[in-house]
């Protein structure tokens, strides 16, 4: 989007390689979609010889701005590092930000920040004073420091029909040579822990024939690998038509990758198309083997659906199936952990020929979700160990996520500006 503007020279900066930077960049932006990336962010500022804190930057330094899901969900732990934070979908915000900045380009830094803070969705943390009930207590007030800026900065929502697609396709990308197309944004299921759903509501779906297929055809001119991206891609109302597009002989050489799909959308048709298009595995999020817990989290899924999905995947010719699970869910008791172990073992017996993997995280309360005020359950650590012992011995590939990092994620998901000093101190240690 930034490169598409004729009034801007843009250089891309990655953590490992980057284009040569302009000699005196005026703006430096970060897309921040994973909490623990703060270490990379601070390291990059240091590598560029920039002060880490916005309060230490002067007219000689670029304005440092950021956006993305982490900053939109809770900018506060990182607020002191940014001059400007863009809250919400980038589509509307980036243009408003750059156009406003053009208008005050020659003004002093204070005027620039004050002008930017008046644009909907642009948050200038230094223009808000945070007071606490006690030095270690809850936030008492957050007050704007100038009468012209809003007391509350609202997240901006993009309402257009075109979602994102790759602009860089390269063998050096984390997903090698894949052209990614965003098929849906948000998810209508609204599981009570899920940031991907609540933070980006409403559920948006571009038209398949008018928008998605032309976008995919553009990608096919540079690569034969296509990735369909989104929190729940198979919930696109015209997903069948998209599958028909890929099932044509013209797409015989296409390698298709698909993000996690909703369990009851794993049909034989989907599985066989993926198998024909060189995908060996499909991923579904079951969260737990306990139907009671799934009701607590509002996951509308029954064990029968999971058994059916596994049968369909196998019949369609897939070789492996991956499940996402979670421990430490609010209301969880030991019997629920046993229910997950039992379900996985039954699935293994149902389809011994399918390689089964269970990736398991610990519940982390995220801001803006209904479960935001609930804590991390310390018993989760033991539950992960128990599952590991019982599942690996049955030939099920169990991949737990680190419990300790989940605790840190929870701290970042709900923490405030007082954390910034801790982040600075620990940035060299943050490599999960």
Minimum CB separation of residue 408 from ligand SF4 in Å reads 21
- Decide whether 191 or 384 has the Cβ nearer to ligand SF4: 191
130, containing H or E segment: strand 128-132
**Interface residues for ligand SF4 in 232-271 (CB under 6 A)?**
232
**Interface residues for ligand SF4 in 167-206 (CB under 6 A)?**
187, 189-191, 194, 196-197
- Decide whether 119 or 183 has the Cβ nearer to ligand SF4: 183
Minimum CB separation of residue 187 from ligand SF4 in Å reads 3
Measure the CA–CA gap between 71 and 35, rounded to whole angstroms: 9
Of 274, 184, 178, give the one whose Cα is nearest residue 226. 178
- Decide whether 191 or 341 has the Cβ nearer to ligand SF4: 191
**Interface residues for ligand SF4 in 90-119 (CB under 6 A)?**
none
Distances from the Cα of 232 to the Cα of 197, 258, 274, 398, angstroms: 9, 10, 16, 23
Of 277, 275, 356, give the one whose Cα is nearest residue 310. 356
For residues 121 and 89, the answer to whether their CB atoms sit within 8 Å is no
285 binds ligand SF4 (CB under 6 A): yes
- Decide whether 100 or 369 has the Cβ nearer to ligand SF4: 369
Minimum CB separation of residue 55 from ligand SF4 in Å reads 37
Of 238, 293, 291, give the one whose Cα is nearest residue 265. 238
> Which residues sit opposite 146 in a β-bridge?
none
Tokens standing for 65? 């701005």
Measure the CA–CA gap between 278 and 180, rounded to whole angstroms: 16
- Decide whether 42 or 228 has the Cβ nearer to ligand SF4: 228
- Decide whether 76 or 189 has the Cβ nearer to ligand SF4: 189
- Decide whether 116 or 376 has the Cβ nearer to ligand SF4: 376
Minimum CB separation of residue 262 from ligand SF4 in Å reads 6
Number of residues that bind ligand SF4 (CB under 6 A): 10
> Which residues sit opposite 66 in a β-bridge?
30, 85
Minimum CB separation of residue 95 from ligand SF4 in Å reads 28
Q: Characterize the bridge pairing of strands 320-327 and 128-132.
A: unpaired
Measure the CA–CA gap between 293 and 328, rounded to whole angstroms: 10
Minimum CB separation of residue 74 from ligand SF4 in Å reads 18
- Decide whether 89 or 189 has the Cβ nearer to ligand SF4: 189
- Decide whether 37 or 189 has the Cβ nearer to ligand SF4: 189
- Decide whether 13 or 196 has the Cβ nearer to ligand SF4: 196
360 binds ligand SF4 (CB under 6 A): no
Beta strands in 11-96 (DSSP E): 27-31, 63-67, 84-86
The one-character DSSP state at 133 is: S
Q: Which of 231, 271, 310, 339 is in the footprint of ligand SF4 by CB under 6 A?
A: 231
For residues 164 and 158, the answer to whether their CB atoms sit within 8 Å is no
Distances from the Cα of 44 to the Cα of 38, 47, 52, 61, 421, angstroms: 10, 5, 9, 14, 17
Which three-class secondary structure string do you get for 179-228? Answer: EEEECCECCCCCCCCCHHHHCCCCCECCCHHHHHHHHHHHHHCCCCEEEE
Which residues in this chain contact ligand SF4 in the complex, by CB under 6 A?
187, 189-191, 194, 196-197, 231-232, 285
């Amino acid at each position: 989007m930034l490169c598409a503007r004729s009034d801007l020279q843009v250089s891309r900066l990655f953590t490992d390689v980057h284009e040569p930077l302009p000699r005196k960049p005026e703006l430096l932006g970060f897309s921040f979609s994973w909490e623990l990336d703060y270490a990379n962010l601070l390291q990059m500022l240091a590598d560029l010889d920039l002060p880490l804190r916005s309060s230490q930057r002067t007219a000689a330094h670029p304005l440092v701005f950021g956006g993305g899901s982490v900053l939109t969900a809770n900018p506060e732990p990182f607020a002191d590092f940014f001059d400007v934070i863009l809250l919400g979908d980038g589509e509307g915000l980036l243009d408003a930000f750059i156009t406003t900045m053009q208008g005050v380009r020659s003004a002093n830094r204070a005027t620039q920040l004050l002008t930017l803070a008046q644009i909907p969705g642009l948050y200038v943390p230094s223009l808000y004073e945070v007071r606490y009930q006690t030095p270690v207590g809850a936030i008492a007030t957050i007050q704007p420091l100038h009468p012209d800026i809003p007391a509350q900065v609202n997240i901006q929502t993009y309402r257009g029909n075109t979602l994102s697609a790759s602009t860089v396709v390269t063998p050096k990308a984390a997903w090698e040579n894949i052209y990614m197309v965003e098929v849906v944004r948000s998810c209508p299921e609204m599981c009570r822990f899920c940031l991907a759903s609540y933070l980006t509501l409403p559920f948006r779906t571009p038209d398949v024939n008018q928008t998605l297929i032309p976008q995919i055809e553009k990608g096919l001119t540079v690569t034969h690998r296509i990735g369909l991206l989104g929190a729940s891609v198979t919930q696109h109302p015209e997903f069948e038509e998209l599958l028909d597009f890929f099932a044509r002989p013209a797409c015989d050489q296409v390698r298709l990758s698909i993000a996690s799909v909703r369990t009851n959308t794993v049909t034989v048709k989907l599985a066989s198309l993926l198998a024909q298009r060189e995908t060996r595995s499909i991923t579904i999020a079951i969260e737990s083997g306990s139907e009671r817990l799934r009701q607590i989290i509002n996951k509308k899924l029954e064990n029968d659906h999971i058994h059916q999905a596994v049968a369909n995947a196998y019949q369609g010719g897939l070789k492996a199936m991956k499940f996402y699970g979670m421990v430490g869910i609010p209301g969880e008791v030991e019997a629920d952990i046993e229910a997950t172990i039992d379900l996985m073992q039954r699935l293994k017996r149902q389809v011994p020929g399918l390689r089964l993997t269970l990736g398991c995280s610990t519940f982390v309360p995220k801001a803006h979700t209904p479960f935001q005020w609930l804590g991390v359950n310390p018993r989760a650590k033991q539950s992960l160990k128990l599952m590991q012992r019982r599942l690996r011995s049955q030939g099920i590939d169990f991949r737990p996520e680190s419990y300790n990092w989940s605790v840190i994620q929870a701290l970042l998901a709900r923490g405030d500006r007082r954390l910034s000093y801790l982040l600075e101190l620990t940035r060299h240690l943050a490599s999960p």
